[in-house]
A and B are shown apart, each in its own frame.
Chain A
Amino acid sequence: MSSAVLDRLRALLGGAAVSRDPDGLPRAVPDSVDAVAATLGVAEEAGWRVRVEGHGSWLPADAPADFALTTRGLDRILAVHPADLVATVEAGVAVDALQRRLAADGMWLALDPPGRPDRTIGSVLATATAGALRAGFGPVRDHVLGCTAVTGDGRVVRPGGTVVKNVAGYDLTRLQVGGFGAFGVLTTLHLRLRTRPHAEATLLARGPRDHLTSAARDLIEAHAQPAALELLSPAVAADSDWVLAARLVGSDASVDAERALLLAVTDLGWAELDKDGAHAFWHLATHAASGAAVTLRLGVLAPGLDEMIDLVGQHLDEGLVWAGALQGGLRWAGEASPDRLRTLRGLAAAREVPLTVERAPWAVRQAIGHFGAYREGVGPLVAQLREVFDPSGRLVVAIDGADA
């Protein structure tokens, strides 16, 4: 590592923004979009491989690199517009801090991502990790109106905007959300917000898994529309049995109507939690993934959930499982070897179900990639888009494994 290059970086960013790890890895903490661009420009010229880090609370900061760039310095909430229900924030803002700020104005970001509460919003967007609320409020991408991203060679792109409806130009924001940082470093995000609901309720039912999934199917047929209907394994729910958790959000009348439907359509013996109990329950369920080495998600539709949970149990384990009983989608967390994950990915792909590695140690990510088992024509497109946004391969991201 040339110290002349580091000196140049210090001159650009300020001395305090560039440091060395105990093991000698240089790290920059740029505090603006321009500083990120300048940093990546220098890295491009120097030929460095760059690892991008947030708080290190979701993806481990373990990719082999010549240089680390952290978004921790990008921690400002730049604008909050209650009348428009839009906020502009930097990528290094912690999700819990953002929600507190929004709550002060009677708003929220209707996302409940897994992991630690202080995860950066940039990591939630880059990995597109949504929680149970995706049933009622959609996947992560539905909450993002636009962004600023810096490409691997230090260019700044600003697709989308700050209005809720916008079709000007190609939707490059969609590529960044869930792109795992392979198409640039997210620096600024324009988010769609919601007014805090007047009423909220959480009801739990416990029992054998097939009993709960069958009840969930009845609810789908009855057109129930809870904000979340999540099937949780005993280990996630800290219970001796599987748990079906319903979260109802809206006006008093709509919550009452959804509760009545839930009780009328199913015979599950629902127990309603009080406000503190509901908060504690969802906190526990959301953060149960925090300690596991590997987290993955499977894009399965609700009718296929039972079979997919069986498959996961066979090839990994039935430990930590979250499943969207209404809209589908399954998350698993635990320990797993690349071989087992590869096998599961192949079996899932045969059922038209994509497996995405949301989090894993570098050795696992490198072996099988965040993505793999691409359908026809996808691999070449991903490779070409990588060339557009990171022409020299500066950003160390295991976007797809060797067997993609």
Chain B
Amino acid sequence: MSEALRAELARIVGPRWVRSRPAELAAYEADGLPTHASRPALAVLPGDRRELTDVIRLLHLAAVPFVARGAGTGLSGGALAGGDAVLVILTRLNHILRLDPASRRAVVEPGVVNARLSEAALPHGLYYAPDPSSQTACTLGGNVAENAGGPHCLKYGVTTNHVVALDILLPDGRMARLGSPSGEPWGPDLVGLFVGSEGMFGIALQITLRLEPLPPAVRTLLAAFPTLRAASEAVSGIIAAGIVPAAMEMMDQACVRAVEASIYAAGYPVDAAAVLLVEVDGSPPAAAAEAAAVETLLLRHGATEVRQAESPAERARLWQGRKKAFGAMGRIAPDLAVQDAVVPRSALPDILDQVAAIATRHGLTVANVFHAGDGNLHPNISFDSRDPALVARVHAANRDIMHACLAVGGSITGEHGVGSDKIEYMPDAFDAETLGAMRAVRTAFDPSGRANPGKVIPLHACREWHRGART
């Protein structure tokens, strides 16, 4: 990193917003996933849209790569910068620019924290539906980059279903305005293409989001099951009955015990093999009727206990246990590898058996907490990153889990993204032609490949695409 570039960046954002000392940069070595680390050459924190644009233009002129980063809560090693790449941190661009209750839209800067938007919309009876477990910390810009999900995405959809328009800064510093407030694009669906591009197409400067009306009534049920299989079958039974709960979350015994041993103890039954948290919403009579139907189905599928939250406080407590489960599991070992994969819902019972067998084979402890309604697994492996042999076993187990999920028609990631962590599995998930197309599309947005280099697409596995034959 040249001193001249550092000085020029400091001139744009002010010296206190450029971090270059090793001790300062250590904070940005990893995101929420402890298995990947990389120290950036420099970190810069622009304070507004203009500063951000000037920074990106400068980096373009200097031909320096960059990585955009929000709160650093990602779980795929996606926001790591190595080599001479500059980390561009967006947390200071944290203004909610407009909130329009009549059309149920919000316009925000990328650094706005997810939960802050719902708080701001609350007085209008509205909220922002996608709710990643890290929603009290993660930023909406990061949610857009990763196409983040969350428990309530079962009924309400993931980030991409809620983004209607984007102002983006291309890696060469030019701007593009994609989509419109209605959600109808100007041309092909470039908003849909940009969401989930993991910071490799540019930076979202301004995000227009759809808000949802708060459901008038919510019912939260907790069910205990003697086996994971019975709980998984209950999930399929509820969906087959035509009920789409707002959320349907499962925790296995290891996860439940970790939660109950932590400060987030939620009163989960620690002797059950699986705990299912089901939430239904709607008008009061509809939610009541649906909750009754769900309760019947849970019992029919072998639940040994079904409880309904009696008060908002009890509901909050049940959810807090689920949302803090990663943190609770993190307490029981020095490190936690949070994994993410998807299988068709009907494959859940078998895949959970396979995950358990894989963990046993590698001599590891796995705890499951996941979005059962979507078939979105989070098998979490506790380990100690100071033990290289153990780290290698964790890696091997993860690889086996990914292959098992792909073998039943699943996906290597449902909501955490590919980042650095899953790039090696991309050739198992996509053929060389499709990977080549993805690489070529990236090139359309970023011809010099400077935005978040080295992530998502394994270049060696791509078939070559010839561009520009027309010109």
The chain A residues found within 8 Å of chain B, CB to CB, are: 81-86, 106, 128, 138-139, 141-142, 151, 155-159, 161-172, 174-175, 177-180, 182-183, 194-198, 217, 220, 223, 225, 250-254, 256-258, 261, 297-303, 328-329, 352-354, 356, 371, 373-378, 381-382, 384-385, 387-389, 391-393, 399-400
- Residue picked from A155, A250, A328, A377, most chain B C-beta under 10 Å: A377
Task: Knowing A85-B239, A163-B344, A170-B442 are in contact, say whether A378-B286 is a contact too (CB < 8 A).
Answer: no
A165/B149 contact (C-beta < 8 A), A223-B216, A257-B286 known: yes
- Give residues of chain B (415-471) contacting chain A, Cβ–Cβ below 8 Å: 415-418, 422, 426, 429-431, 433-438, 440-445, 456-457, 465-471
Q: Are B239 and A195 in contact, with the CB atoms below 8 A?
A: yes
**Interface hit among B190-198, B305-313, B360-368:** B190-198
Q: Let me know if B286 and A250 touch, CB within 8 A.
A: yes
Task: Decide yes or no: A177 and B189 within 8 Å by CB, A253-B288, A301-B182, A377-B174 being known contacts.
Answer: yes
Q: List 21 A-B contacts (CB under 8 A).
A: A158-B434, A159-B430, A163-B410, A165-B158, A166-B411, A169-B418, A172-B438, A175-B188, A175-B190, A175-B192, A175-B193, A179-B189, A196-B242, A223-B214, A251-B286, A253-B282, A257-B283, A301-B103, A356-B184, A374-B186, A384-B467
Max count, chain A CB within 10 A of own CB: residue among B147, B192, B416: B192
Nearest-CB residue, chain B, relative to A256: B285
Instruction: Report whether A169 and B286 are in contact in the complex, using a CB–CB cutoff of 8 Å.
Output: no
| Distance from B16 Cβ to chain A, minimum over Cβ atoms (Å) | 32
Question: Binding site of A, secondary structure by majority: helix, strand, loop or mixed?
Answer: loop
Of the stretches B45-53, B326-334, B371-379, B383-391, the one at the interface is: B371-379
Decide: B346 and A297 in contact? CB cutoff 8 A: no
A199–B334 Cα distance when bound, in Å, is 52
Contact B242 A142 (CB under 8 A): no
In the assembly, what is the distance between CA of A180 and CA of B64, in Å? Answer: 37
A378-B190 CB under 8 A given contacts A169-B456, A391-B466, A392-B470:
yes
Q: Does B160 touch A at the CB level, under 8 Å?
A: yes
Contact A166 B444 (CB under 8 A): no
A381 to B105, CA, bound (A): 26
Residues on A with beta carbons closer than 8 Å to the beta carbon of B442: 170
Cross-chain contact B409 with A163 (CB below 8 angstroms): yes
Query: Residue A82 contacts which of B175, B181, B216, B240 (CB distance < 8 angstroms)?
Result: B240
Contact B161 A178 (CB under 8 A): no
Whether B371 lies near A165 (C-beta < 8 A) is yes
Query: Bound state CA distance, A393 and B467, in angstroms?
Result: 12
Q: How far is the CA of A48 from the CA of B66 in the complex (A)?
A: 42
Task: Contacts A171-B192, A373-B186, A374-B186 given; indicate if A303 touches B457 (C-beta within 8 A).
Answer: no
Residues of B within 8 A of A (CB): 102-105, 125, 146-147, 149, 153, 157-158, 160-161, 168, 170, 174-178, 180-193, 195-197, 213-214, 216, 236, 239-244, 282-286, 288-290, 293, 342-346, 371, 374-376, 409-418, 422, 426, 429-431, 433-438, 440-445, 456-457, 465-471
CB neighbours of B157 from chain A (8 A):
138, 142
Listed residue (B105, B180, B214) with the most chain A CB atoms within 10 angstroms of its CB: B180
How far apart are A380's CB and chain B's nearest CB, in angstroms? 8
CB pair B430 A158 closer than 8 Å:
yes
Bound state CA distance, A353 and B164, in angstroms?
13
Please give, as numbers and ranges, the residues of chain B lying within 8 Å of A155 by CB-CB distance. 433, 436-437, 465
What CA separation (Å) do A249 and B293 show in the bound complex?
17
Hey, which chain B residues are within 8 Å of A161, CB to CB?
Answer: 409-411, 429
Give the residues in chain B near A167, CB-CB below 8 Å: 146-147, 149, 158, 196, 411, 413-418
Please tell me if the beta carbons of B184 and A297 are within 8 angstroms of each other in the complex.
yes
Distance between Cα atoms of A384 and B444 in the complex (Å):
6
Complex alpha-carbon distance, A164 and B429, angstroms: 16
Q: What is the CA–CA distance of A156 and B431 in the complex, to the nearest angstrom?
A: 9
B197 touches A387 (CB 8 A): no
List the A side residues contacting B429 at CB < 8 Å: 161, 168-169
- B184:A329 contact, CB within 8 angstroms: yes
A314 to chain B, nearest CB (A): 20
Out of B236, B239, B243, B467, name the residue touching A387 (CB < 8 Å). B467
B436 CB, nearest partner CB in chain A, Å: 8
A81, A106, A298: the one contacting B344 at CB < 8 Å is A81
- Looking at the assembled complex, report how far the CB atom of B176 sits from the nearest CB atom of chain A, in whole angstroms: 3
**CB distance B415 to A165 under 8 Å?**
yes
Q: Which residue of B lies closest to A301 (CB)?
A: B103
Q: Which residues of A contact B433 (CB under 8 A)?
A: 155-158
For B102, list chain A residues within 8 Å (CB).
Answer: 217, 220, 302-303
Residues of A with C-beta under 8 A to B285: 253, 256-257
Neighbour of B180 across the interface among A166, A353, A400, CB < 8 A: A353
**Bound CA span A108–B180, Å:** 29
Q: Given the complex, which residues of B lie within 8 Å of A356, measured CB to CB?
A: 184
